[in-house]
Amino acid sequence: TGQHGIGDCLAVRLTLPPDFLQAEGVVRVVSTEPGDTAGFDHLHTEFVRLADADRQSIARHVMRWQIRQRQTR
């Protein structure tokens, strides 16, 4: 297993393409699963601290992504 367990809190910084939107906050590990052959575990997290401006930026990013996905179908 990895070095992070359920309940651990981690500081994260996200860079979301293609606009290179950056957001940062604190997440809590809610579950883990064994990783791939590179040895990285998969961590499932939830935000416990996220600035409102970052939350809104992420929401706008997701909406733009969803619109792009619909246009390519």
Write the DSSP string, 25-65.
EEEEEEEEE---TT-PPEEEEEEEEE-HHHHHHHHHHHHHH
Omega within 30 of 0 (cis) for the link into 18: yes
Its pTM stands at: 0.76
pLDDT the model gives residue 1: 46
Give the Å distances, CA to CA, from 62 to 11, 55, 58, 67.
21, 11, 6, 9
Q: What is the pLDDT of residues 50-73, one digit of tens each?
A: 999 999 999 999 999 899 889 987
- Name the amino acid, one letter, at 13: R
Q: What is the pLDDT of residues 12-24, one digit of tens each?
A: 999 988 889 899 9
